[in-house]
Chains A and B, each alone.
Chain A
Amino acid sequence: MNAKDDELGQLLRSAIRPVPDVELSQDLWPRMLTRMHRTGRLWSSWDWAAVAAGGTVAAAFPEAFSLLFYAL
């Protein structure tokens, strides 16, 4: 390595802003798990049962449905 290389190295280092912190501030695996879980999430049978039960209640008591607007 000659003087010109050193000079070039210094020039490059001065031109590029130094990276302050390259360490991870947190574990990224939980976030990865969430993303994987999110893509595979579907409505469960409990959810459909809740929809069916809600529809039945709303059909039997239409006024209850209007009251829902008051509480939502």
Chain B
Amino acid sequence: MLEGPHRYLRAYLAGVAFPTAFLVVILSVFAVLASTGRVSWSAAALLIFPMAVVPNLWGLWNVAYVALSKRRAADIGLFGALLPSVIAPLGYLTAKALGHPLPYGWETLTAAFALAVLVYYLVWKHVVRYLNESLELEMTP
């Protein structure tokens, strides 16, 4: 792992990049669903979570990864795959607190969690790792 100035700041920025860029997709999907009446416009309050919470958690998770991998080699894909364990319960509780509980059964929620783990694994392994390397952060193979 390369040392250098503002190492953790670079790690944070590399972490927030993907979910921040992906926001436009989320907002577009929501706008289409709401304008076609499939989702209530009042559910826009739920967007607080992917807009404010998720990117920050990605940034902090990457800071944790960079700090951890300084001491020992860690697989970034597997490290990223752990993040849904934090995000999923937070998202569930946030939706409930905002008065829009997720209208899905446990089967669907469990499937969504499994899907998130797989997607996070791939995104962290291939996208976040690339961003880390571009910012000269990650050196472990």
| A57 near B46: Cβ-Cβ < 8 Å | no
Cα separation A58 to B125 with both chains bound (whole Å): 20
Please name the residue on chain A nearest to B139 by beta carbon: A30
Number of A-B residue pairs, CB cutoff 8 Å, is 90
Give the A interface residue count (CB, 8 A).
26
Please name the residue on chain A nearest to B4 by beta carbon: A26
Shortest CB-to-CB span from A37 to chain B, Å, is 5
Interface majority SS on B: helix, strand, loop or mixed? helix
| A47 near B119: Cβ-Cβ < 8 Å | no
Using a CB-CB cutoff of 8 Å, which residues 56-88 of chain B contact chain A?
84, 87-88
Residues in A with CB closer than 8 Å to B104 are 63, 67
Cα separation A53 to B49 with both chains bound (whole Å): 26
| A54 near B50: Cβ-Cβ < 8 Å | no
Give the B interface residue count (CB, 8 A).
38
Residues in A with CB closer than 8 Å to B22 are 72
Cα separation A71 to B95 with both chains bound (whole Å): 11
Shortest CB-to-CB span from B77 to chain A, Å, is 8
| B19 near A26: Cβ-Cβ < 8 Å | no
Contact of B91 among A38, A60, A71 (CB under 8 A): A71
Q: A31-B139, A72-B50 are in contact. Are A54 and B119 (CB under 8 A)?
A: yes
| A34 near B108: Cβ-Cβ < 8 Å | no
Cα separation A63 to B104 with both chains bound (whole Å): 8
Please name the residue on chain A nearest to B102 by beta carbon: A67
B54 adjacent to chain A (CB < 8 Å):
yes
| A57 near B88: Cβ-Cβ < 8 Å | no
Using a CB-CB cutoff of 8 Å, which residues 34-68 of chain A contact chain B?
34, 37-38, 43, 47, 50-51, 53-54, 57-58, 60-61, 63-65, 67-68
Q: Which residues of B contact A (CB under 8 A)?
A: 2-3, 19, 22, 25-26, 29-30, 46, 49-50, 54, 84, 87-88, 91, 95, 102, 104, 107-109, 111-112, 114-116, 118-119, 121-122, 125-126, 133, 136, 138-139, 141
Some 6 contacts from A to B, beta carbons below 8 A apart, are A26-B2, A31-B136, A57-B114, A64-B112, A64-B114, A68-B116
